[in-house]
Amino acid sequence: MILTVTLNTALDITYRVRSLRPHASHRVSEVTERPGGKGVNVARVLAALGHEVTVTGFTGGATGRVVQERLAAVPGVVDALVPVTGATRRTIAVVDEQTGDTTQLNEPGPMVSPAEWSAFQEAYEDLLPSVSAVALCGSLPPGLPVGAYAGLVRTARAAGVPVLLDTSGEPLRRGVAARPDIIKPNADELAELTGSHEPLRATQDARRRGAGAVVASLGPEGLLAATREGRWRATPPASVRGNPTGAGDSAVAGLLSGLVDHLPWPDRLTRATALSAATVAAPVAGEFDRGVYEELLGRVAVSGEVSAA
């Protein structure tokens, strides 16, 4: 079983409009609601790939109840969310149908008390003995210490469970120092972490800071990986038009799926790149176009070198 941690779960709401214009009223052509937050999106993709997944994090208020109701309808996903007094946040994605661009509005999330954080940490430790890998994903809700992910990384490592970290800013900086097995930043997050805007140099620097492997999302240009085993670049055959929200989460799902399936790194990167691109072709985050995914699996180009070390 794979465990995904979403400390700042959300109800993802996607609006589609003909054309998004500032200072104007818009008629929404379609509305979708899904349980969300980065780790929840990862879990839904993993479940669609046939993996058993447990989701944990925080849930609260009326929005939290809707998230749990929607999560219960997802086959293969087990709900282990921890209740809090505050209300789960909402995220709003507005898709411009003419341009394909997406505008994202993210609420901050509920205030988490020290007692609620302690209850979560106990629940997390109880789950670890039964899992094969864990993903720590997304932003921190108000009230949590900036080193929250670093502590969760150390707990997973102490339990012998491989851990992937996908966050940004200071939580990422602290988390890398705790030595996660994999981090999955995008290009901007990687530059913020290392100070370098040259992706290859930045991935190597992030490894020196403590990450076992660094897999950087480069948007439509694919993935760049620096690992103990070597360095690789995975590139999709063409840019996919659609909604990019959740594409990075699907890349995380692909990396975790490849990890628990014991695939070599080039095959993990192929799976992650194909899933990421297939998610752009899907209407909402946490889903992927299976036809696009299967077609891309044989067309993703992976180049690189195996480390002599």
133-166: buried (b, 16+ CB within 10 Å) or exposed (e) per residue? bbbbbbbbbebbeebbbbbbbbbbeeeebbbbbb
- What percentage of the chain's residues is helix, strand, coil (to nearest 5)? 40, 25, 35
- Local structure of 138: helix, strand or coil: coil
What pLDDT is attached to residue 289? 86
Residue 201: pLDDT band by 50, 70, 90 thresholds?
Answer: very high
- Local structure of 90: helix, strand or coil: strand
Q: What is the mean pLDDT of residues 284-307?
A: 85
Kindly state the percentage of the chain with pLDDT values over 70: 98
pLDDT at 72 over 90: yes
Residue 275: pLDDT band by 50, 70, 90 thresholds?
Answer: very high
pLDDT at 309 over 50: no
Contact 218, 198 (CB under 8 A): no
pLDDT at 95 over 90: no
Beta bridge partners of 303: 233
What pLDDT is attached to residue 133? 98
pLDDT at 212 over 80: yes
What pLDDT is attached to residue 59? 96
Q: What is the mean pLDDT of residues 247-253?
A: 95
Q: Which amino acid is at 308?
A: A
- Measured CA to CA in angstroms, residue 84 lies from 59, 111, 139, 157 at distances of 6, 9, 17, 26
Q: Which residues are catalytic?
A: 249
* pTM passes above 0.85: yes
Closest CA to 154 of 175, 139, 137, 138: 175
Per-residue model confidence as pLDDT tens digits over 14-53: 899 999 999 989 999 999 898 999 999 999 999 999 999 9
Q: What is the mean pLDDT of residues 252-269?
A: 97
Residue count (the chain): 309
DSSP assigned state of 238:
S
Distance, CA of 36 to CA of 52 (rounded, Å):
18
- Measured CA to CA in angstroms, residue 280 lies from 90, 177, 306 at distances of 21, 32, 30
Concatenating the DSSP letter of every residue in 22-75 gives TT----EEEEEEEEESHHHHHHHHHHHTT--EEEEEEE-HHHHHHHHHHHHTST
DSSP E strand boundaries for 74-229: 77-79, 82-83, 89-96, 102-106, 133-137, 163-166, 182-183, 213-217, 223-226
Residue scoring higher pLDDT (283 or 93): 93
Contact 77, 51 (CB under 8 A): no
Per-residue model confidence as pLDDT tens digits over 114-162: 999 999 999 999 999 999 999 999 999 999 999 999 999 999 999 999 9
- Local structure of 223: helix, strand or coil: strand
Residue 102: pLDDT band by 50, 70, 90 thresholds?
Answer: confident
**Displacement of CA 51 from its chain's centroid (Å):** 16
Q: What is the mean pLDDT of residues 178-189?
A: 96
Task: Name residue, tokens 């940004």.
Answer: 168
Contact 30, 110 (CB under 8 A): no
What pLDDT is attached to residue 307? 63
pLDDT at 308 over 50: no
Contact 31, 95 (CB under 8 A): no
